[in-house]
Amino acid sequence: MSLTGGALTAAAPTGTAGAAVRGLLRAADTVVLAAGGSGDEPPVTISRDPAREAARRELSKRMYHENDPGLIQRALDAFWDWLGKLFGTAASATPGGGVGLFVVVLFVVAVLGALWWRLGTPRRRTASAAVLFDDSPRSAAEHRAASEAHAAQGHWNQAVQERMRAIVRSLEERALLDVRPGRTADEAAAEAGRFLPAHTDRLRAAARQFDDVTYGGRRAGEQSYHRLEELDRDLERTRPALADPTGGTRPGAAE
């Protein structure tokens, strides 16, 4: 079918497109018969705009859209087209083209993986929840036994937690710390450092290790546990600092 000199003319098309065209011809014939009164009379010339409108009405019929892709398929096609254009633009702007872009993506993935391995899974941590002990109090000896049992099985996270609890409970049993529910590891380290100033830094490091393992999602290792184990033994052999007349403290000595 073609428009020549503003008139609608047609051949005998076949197939699906032919069906659409034949429908247009039927619409045009209707207009011709209505205008001329007989199919034997010369056809009435149809201008371009009415012919276009007749084609639009014909092609809007449902029979021509039965095999059209659905909404989801159209959305997926649009997404993949957009993604292809995005990667094409990125590749053209990257030195080395597609290979350079691939190298950059691999580098970014490697950096993210290293950060994930180093920092662990992010978790919420609130100061009110970061407490040392649960509702069932145990002695320092019981916490040490639990930590050694976990260490024997290679459960270093639990071993570190129980060893830190053993350290703080031992300081409470020696009356260097008051027994206070809800105390955090950081608070215990700060308070104990006033009486055991030679071990202040190690106590703070032990508190950070406890918090990282318990609330920060990090994994402890054998060396971490042995550092706390050694600190526990050293604290047991260290005399507490005594208060002096000026209000400060005098460092104690190992027993």
DSSP structure string for 116-178: HHHH-S-----TTT--S--SS---HHHHHHHHHHHHHTT-HHHHHHHHHHHHHHHHHHTTSS-
Question: If you average pLDDT over residues 73-80, what whole number do you get?
Answer: 83
φ, ψ at 3 (rounded to 5°) = -105, 115
State yes or no: pLDDT of 215 exceeds 80. yes
Q: Return the DSSP state at 80.
A: H
Highest-scoring range by mean pLDDT, 109-118, 127-136, 170-179: 170-179
pLDDT at 53: 81
Q: Looking up tokens 């109090």, which residue turns up?
A: 137
Query: Quick one: DSSP state of residue 162?
Result: H
Give the best-scoring range by mean pLDDT among 98-102, 109-113, 229-233. Answer: 229-233
Residue bearing the bigger pLDDT, 67 or 148:
148
Mean pLDDT of 110-126: 64
Of 213, 172, 212, 217, give the one whose Cα is nearest residue 191: 172
State the DSSP code for 239. P
pLDDT: is 26 or 117 the higher one? Answer: 117
Query: Is pLDDT above 60 for 243?
Result: no
Instruction: Write out pLDDT tens, residues 229-241.
Output: 999 999 999 888 7
**pLDDT tens digits along 187-196:** 999 999 998 9
Residue 126: which pLDDT band, with cuts at 50, 70 and 90? very low
User: Is the predicted pLDDT of residue 167 greater than 80, yes or no?
Assistant: yes
Among the listed ranges 73-77, 134-138, 194-198, which one has the minimum average pLDDT value?
134-138
Q: What is the pLDDT of residue 20?
A: 55
**pLDDT tens for each residue of 24-75:** 555 555 444 444 444 455 555 667 777 778 777 777 777 776 677 778 888 8
Where do the domains of the chain lie?
2-64, 71-119, 140-250
Place of tokens 């950070």: 208
E runs forming strands in the chain: 2-4, 7-9, 242-243, 249-250
